[in-house]
A and B are shown apart, each in its own frame.
Chain A
Amino acid sequence: MSRIDFDIAHLLAGTLVLISFLELYQDRLYALLNVYAAHALVLAASVAWQAFVQDAPHLYVTAAIALVFKATIIPITLHRVIVRLGIHREIEKVVGVGAAMLAGMGLVALSMVVMLRVTHGADPLAREDLAFALSVVLLGLLMMVTRRNAVSQVVGFMSLENGLVLAATGAKGMPLVVEISVAFSILIALIVIGIFLFRIRERFDTVDVQALDRYRGERR
């Protein structure tokens, strides 16, 4: 593999981690959705690049899914949902921005240490891809635990899933990648938008998960 191929893949994966950090401190839902769209866009570019470098045309399907579904349809739909629910105000945070960023940096360092140490045998491209992917996954998890709003938790889950797609496409020749990305898209589309948000809205007049917490797991 030539030097420039490697550099571009590296750049795209690194950008994905950077955008994950950007998501971490967005405190408005609109801004968060825009950043997420950028996240998905970079993912699409990264997957397309992998498809080109690995000469694996089926990966273009995954890239197309990322571009059309994740970077376009989902953000637009969520925009509408937010408008209709009237919740385009600030996002509540459990942890402050500073603490969240510090925790995020810790997680990225952790994933670098873990992945780079255990993947001596693998080729350098896959190796660094995996380290970046784990960072994106962990940052997505962090976002899910630091947010209370159902919409932003879902955005956290979706960026986590982008990390998984990055890992799957980085693993050269992995079968079922397309199927898995379709399965994930179905999961997101079906459950999140179709059912939960509307039902939660219907029943609680809010999508703040805190409102759900009134019921503390035990009837009295």
Chain B
Amino acid sequence: MIIDALTGVLAIPAITAALLAALPGYRITARINVVATGLTLLCALSLFFRRPEAGTYLLVDDLNATFIVLTTFVGFTTSIFSASYIDHELEIGRLTPPFVRFYHAMYQVLMFGMNLALVANNIGLMWVAIEMATLTTVLMVGIYRTHEALEAAWKYFILGSVGIALALFGTILVYMAARPAVGEGLDAMVWTILVKHADAFDPALLDVAFVFLLLGYGTKVGLAPLHAWLPDAHAEGPTPISAVLSGLLLNVALYALLRFKMLLAVNTGALAPGPLMVTLGLISLIFAVFMLYRRRDIKRMFAYSSIEHMGIITFAFGMGGPLANFAGLLHMTMHSLTKSAIFFAVGHVAQVKGTQRIADMGGLTETHPVLGWGLVLGVVAIAGLPPLGIFMSEFLVVSSTFARAPLLALVLVFGILVGIAALFLRLNSIAFGEPRGPIGKTHASYVPMFAHLALVLGAGIYLPPALVTWFQNVAGLLG
């Protein structure tokens, strides 16, 4: 085969981005966008069966194959949602055709950046890719050019740049630590080589490096207290971008952290990264659930819910061990699927109502039954009620923690319960009661939303043994 799957995962978005930047006419570009992300997904899926050898720049192993498939899948479904969303935005004149062209090109650049960050075997390349992904999202968050959108983009740009700068400093320190053991040059930045020699690195230098990396990439994960950009960026950008941000970009940053965590785990003298991640995770969880209560903007509310769940996921990976890692991976997958489904619903709801204010929405299940019940199902899922997938993953996180650190588990359960209460309080006024606000028709595409929710429901009821084995295998890699 001349073009292998790995090249496809990177080349398809890159070429499509150039193509979309050149093509006028938004209908055709929206379709090309969908087709391209679909093809990327197919390439990503084939990585499960056949994958190239690790090179100095690129690497595919079981860990990142999982991330790539998740990323390309949500990228694909979001592009379908995006097509109908953008259609409506053009109709009401919120976006003009030149902006739509720019938007589609940027969408593909974002996919390219995320895929590159995931397959990078070189920690410098990974950093460049994450920077690229961040930049494209900054541009897209500001695309509406309103006062609020520009403020959100500015805030995101400044905080994101600081995060990315700290991460680079951490990367340089890792290189400094590796140099005596691995030797000068490119090899000292190649992850697979680093992991082999990590035992010989200077532990103190590695510790400091990890602190910088945790703060730097942690900003991008949206961990409190570095989360300030996240709610604004989610609320003011186009909704497909909120879905991709929550469902994917946060995961990619977390993936970078996990790679470095694996590096530290090999070195016996270095500090355990677990407690740091556990602490940040719990702080994010507790902070976010209380912030959920007084939200007036629907997208902002679900942005805080993303902080909550990234907190839980970071917590699970911080606890470590086969069971907690398994729970973390499962939770990450379920959260990506559910949260993007919720944003699909919210995007259409906000378009119908012409606002994102929760106070101006009401009785959705009466006026728009499909959309309303879809949103209800999504919120039930994200709150972690049985029998949906998030219930299972949260249950696993909690139960694995109870065995090892009962006190932390109590805090965790408390946070989750507060979160559930807050979500239902808001859901009640949005979905039920007297209809409020405009009740116009939607020409929404419900397929992506219900496809995600069906997957989450399916995973909650029955997790195929093949998937369980796969996740167990990856959890073992994470140590």
A52 contacts the other chain (CB 8 A): no
New A-B contacts (11) at CB < 8 Å, excluding given A168-B172, A180-B124, A180-B128: A118-B208, A119-B202, A121-B205, A122-B180, A122-B205, A179-B124, A200-B154, A217-B232, A217-B300, A218-B300, A219-B297
Which residues in A have some Cβ–Cβ distance to B below 8 Å? 114-115, 117-122, 126, 130, 133-134, 137, 141, 144, 150, 153, 157, 160-161, 164, 167-168, 171-176, 179-180, 183, 187, 190-191, 195-196, 199-200, 203-204, 209, 212-213, 215, 217-220
Query: A126 with B208: in contact, given A172-B184, A176-B124, A203-B145 (CB under 8 Å)?
Result: no
Query: A157 with B158: in contact, given A118-B204, A118-B208, A134-B169 (CB under 8 Å)?
Result: yes
A120 to chain B, nearest CB (A): 8
A5 to chain B, nearest CB (A): 18
Q: Is the CB of B232 within 8 A of A121?
A: no
Q: Is the CB of B207 within 8 A of A157?
A: no
Among A153, A218, A219, residue most surrounded by chain B Cβ atoms (within 10 Å): A219
Query: A220 with B296: in contact, given A180-B128, A191-B157 (CB under 8 Å)?
Result: yes
3 A-B pairs with least C-beta separation: A173-B184, A118-B204, A176-B124
Q: Is the CB of A209 within 8 A of B172?
A: no
Chain B residues with CB below 8 A from A209, complex form = 154
Q: Is the CB of A176 within 8 A of B147?
A: no
Q: Which chain B residues numbered 185 to 222 have a C-beta less than 8 Å away from chain A?
A: 185-186, 188-189, 202, 204-205, 207-208
Give 17 pairs: A residue, B residue, CB < 8 Å, sorted on A: A118-B204, A119-B176, A122-B179, A164-B165, A164-B168, A164-B169, A167-B169, A171-B176, A173-B179, A173-B185, A183-B128, A191-B135, A195-B139, A200-B154, A203-B150, A212-B150, A218-B300
Q: Is the CB of A174 within 8 A of B175?
A: yes
Chain B residues with CB below 8 A from A219, complex form = 296-297, 356-357
Q: Is the CB of B128 within 8 A of A164?
A: no
Bound complex: CA A99 to CA B382 (Å): 46
Q: Which residue of B lies closest to A145 (CB)?
A: B162
Q: Which chain B residues numbered 142 to 173 have a C-beta less than 8 Å away from chain A?
A: 142, 145, 147-148, 150-151, 153-154, 157-158, 161-162, 165-166, 168-169, 172-173
